[in-house]
Amino acid sequence: MPIVLPHHDGSTLYVSTPEPGAVSLGDTVRLRIRVPQGWGPASKVWVRSIQDGEPRYDAAIRLGSADGWDWWEAAMLVANPVAKYRFLLEVTETHDGAAAAGPVVGAASSSGRRYWNLNAQGLFGRDVSDAADFRLTAFVPAPEWLRKGTMYQVFPDRFARSAQADGHPIPDWAIACAWNEPVVGTGTGASTQFYGGDLPGVAGKLDHLQALGVDVLYLTPFFPARSNHRYDASTFDSVDPLLGGDQALVDLVEAAHSRGIRVMGDLTANHSGAAHEWFVKALADPGSEEAGYYYFSPDHSSYESWWGVPSLPKFNWSSAALRRRFITDEDSVVARWLKPPFNLDGWRIDVGNMTGRLGAVDLNHEVAGLIAERVREVNPNAALLAESTSDAAADVTGEHWQGAMTYSNLTRPLWSWLAKDAPNVNFFGSPQSGPNRIPAEDFLATHQDLTAGFSWAVRQNNMNALNTHDTARAATVMVDGGPEVGAVLTFCLPGVPVMFAGDEFGFEGYNGEDSRTPMPWVGNDLVQDLRSHYSHLAGLRRDLPALTEGGVRWLHAAGDAMVFVRETSESSVLVFVARNTAEVVLDHAALGNAQRAALLAAPLHRSGKVTSAPAGPSGVDNVLLRAEGISAGVWAMPGTTVPVL
Active site residue 266: no
Give the distance from CA 47 to its chain's centroid: 28
- In DSSP terms, which residues pair with 76 in a beta bridge? 29
- Pinpoint the alpha helices (H) of 204-307: 206-212, 245-258, 277-284
Q: Is residue 413 within 8 Å of residue 472, measured between CB atoms?
A: no
Backbone angles phi, psi at 531, to 5 degrees: -60, -45
Of 292, 35, 311, 343, the closest CA to residue 192 belongs to 311
Mapped onto helix, strand or coil, the DSSP state of residue 615 is coil
> Measured between alpha carbons, how far is 501 from 593 in angstroms, rounded to an integer?
42
* Catalytic position from the list 387, 395, 484, 514: 387
327 burial (CB, 10 Å; 0-12 / 13-18 / 19+) is buried
Give the residue ranges of DSSP H helices in 215-327. Answer: 245-258, 277-284, 320-323
Given its phi and psi angles, is residue 214 left (phi above 0), alpha (psi -120 to 50 degrees) or beta? Answer: beta
CA distances from 163 to 166, 196, 199, 204 (A): 6, 11, 11, 10
DSSP state of 58: E
Name the active-site residue from 240, 246, 290, 350: 350
DSSP state letter for 259? T
Active-site annotation holds for 251: no
Q: Is 231 helix (H, G, I), strand (E, B) or coil?
A: coil
Tell me, what amino acid is at 569?
A: S
Q: Distance between the two ends of the chain, CA-based, in angstroms? A: 33
Contact (Cβ atoms closer than 8 angstroms) between residue 349 and residue 387: yes
How far apart (Å, rounded) are the C-alpha atoms in residues 552 and 7? 9
Q: Is the peptide bond before 41 cis (omega within 30 degrees of 0)?
A: yes
282, 290 Cβ separation under 8 angstroms: yes
Q: Residue 69 in 3-state DSSP? A: strand
Q: With contact defined as beta carbons under 8 Å apart, do 49 and 133 qualify?
A: no
> Which residues are annotated as catalytic?
350, 387
